[in-house]
Chains A and B, each alone.
Chain A
Amino acid sequence: MTSGSRLVIAAVVGALVLAGGLTYFIARAAGFSTRTAPTAFERVVVRTIHRLSVPARARDAANPIAFSTDVWAESRAHFADHCASCHANDGSGDTAIGRNLFPRAPDMRLAATQDKTDGELYWIIENGIRLTGMPAWGNGGADDADTWKLVHFVRHLKELTPDQLKAMAAANPRSPSELQEEQDDAKFLAGENLPPAPEPHHHQ
């Protein structure tokens, strides 16, 4: 083994030890809690790994679905039903779940998301991201029309109007207790007397 090879091996081992030590330090300092946001180091490492993990062909794929008012409406309804619980209807990630995931659900209106290619967005929706709250919503194929429509939705987030956001809120999934609450509200407003309200469930 040449001295050059030994130097490379030593550098790699040193880098691994350093990364391991840093990971151990972070884990010991913050535990495995999701209360704190990822450190800058964690963000850089994970984003780099994820960027490298998307195949070049997938990254460069163009959206085969043409944008239209129908696609816009369909994708809003789809997003409100499947995605908004974590990402919020406006894509801000400002929900009880999104605020507390590790990493946090991103504000998809910002550059970190908008700078990704359509193919990368499709890949993420279709395949999910390991060790985050983002599940794989598709079967991994390249031609899921609903997923491509969601890519259009992400691209047009900043164009959402208050009325569209209100319509999406009405389409968000509801728990049985929330449905009951809505019915009770309607009865109360119509003049019926109701039994005492149940205990509210509060989260951060």
Chain B
Amino acid sequence: MKQLLSVVAVVLALGAGVLAHNGNDHVRGTVTAVSAQSVTVQLADKSSKTLSISAKTEFEASGKPGHLADVKVGDRVVIDVPEHGSNALLIKVGVAAAKK
């Protein structure tokens, strides 16, 4: 049973688009909603994750310091959050995802 649970956990993690780095989790996805308080991203496995935005959240667009206004629905983002946490520490903004 324990092994089965481990396998399930691994499978879930593989599809989640969440990685650990520098003591933080790393969330990769496409923005589906954004406000002054939170950003919601769709992950590779089509699941959604909502992370809170605070005054401490930093932004980076095209490798340079950015602002909340740089985050738009449809943009690809990589977000640093504390392990097991939901506060966005750093939001890196990339190109907009291609429309299907």
Task: Show the binding face of A for B, using Cβ within 8 Å.
Answer: 95-96, 169, 172, 178, 181-182, 185, 188-191, 194, 196-203
Residues of A within 8 A of B93 (CB): 189
The A interface, classified by DSSP as helix, strand, loop or mixed, is loop
On chain A, the residues within 8 Å of B95 by CB distance are 189-191
In the assembled complex, how far is the CB of residue A180 from the closest CB belonging to chain B, in whole angstroms?
A: 10
What CA separation (Å) do A172 and B23 show in the bound complex?
Answer: 12
Please give the distance in Å from A81's CB to the nearest CB on chain B.
14
B23 touches A200 (CB 8 A): no
> Counting CB contacts under 8 A, is B8 at the interface?
no
Q: When the two chains form the complex, which single residue of A172, A185, A199, A200 contacts B92, counting CB atoms closer than 8 Å?
A: A185
Q: Could you tell me if B18 and A197 are in contact, using CB atoms closer than 8 angstroms?
A: yes
Q: How far is the CA of A29 from the CA of B28 in the complex (A)?
A: 44
A188 with B76: in contact, given A197-B17, A199-B10, A199-B13 (CB under 8 Å)?
Answer: yes
16 A–B contacts from the bound complex (CB under 8 Å): A172-B22, A178-B21, A185-B92, A188-B78, A189-B92, A189-B93, A189-B95, A191-B94, A191-B95, A191-B97, A196-B15, A196-B44, A197-B18, A197-B28, A197-B44, A198-B14
Q: How many residues of B contact A (CB 8 A)?
A: 28
Residues of B within 8 A of A96 (CB): 23
Which residues in A have their C-beta under 8 angstroms from that of B45? 196
**B33 interfacial by beta-carbon distance below 8 Å:** no
- CB neighbours (8 Å) of A196 from chain B are 14-15, 44-45
B21: A residues at CB distance < 8 A: 178, 181-182
CA of A191 to CA of B14, assembled, Å: 20
Q: Give the shortest distance, in Å, between A170 (CB) and chain B (any CB).
A: 10
Q: Restricting to B8-36, which residues have a CB under 8 Å from any CB of A?
A: 10, 13-23, 25-26, 28
CB-CB < 8 A to A201: which residues of B?
20
Q: Which residue of A has the minimal Cβ distance to B60?
A: A189
Interface contact A200-B28, CB-CB below 8 Å = no
Measured in the bound complex, the distance between the Cα atoms of B22 and A182 in whole Å is 11
The 8 Å CB contact of A200, one of B13, B78, B94, is B13
Are A181 and B76 interface neighbours, CB within 8 A? no
Is B98's beta carbon under 8 Å from chain A? yes
Q: Which A residues lie within 8 Å of B98 (CB)?
A: 191
Whether the Cβ atoms of B84 and A202 lie closer than 8 Å is: yes
Contact A202:B83 (CB < 8 A) given known A172-B22, A197-B16, A197-B17 = yes
Cross-chain contact A181 with B26 (CB below 8 angstroms): yes
- The residue among A190, A196, A198, A203 with the most chain B CB atoms within 10 A of its own CB is A196
Closest B residue by C-beta to A169: B22
Docked-complex contact B17 and A200, CB < 8 angstroms: no
Instruction: Kindly identify which residue among B10, B20, B26, B44 contacts A185, using a CB–CB cutoff of 8 Å.
Output: B26
Q: Is the CB of A189 within 8 A of B20?
A: no
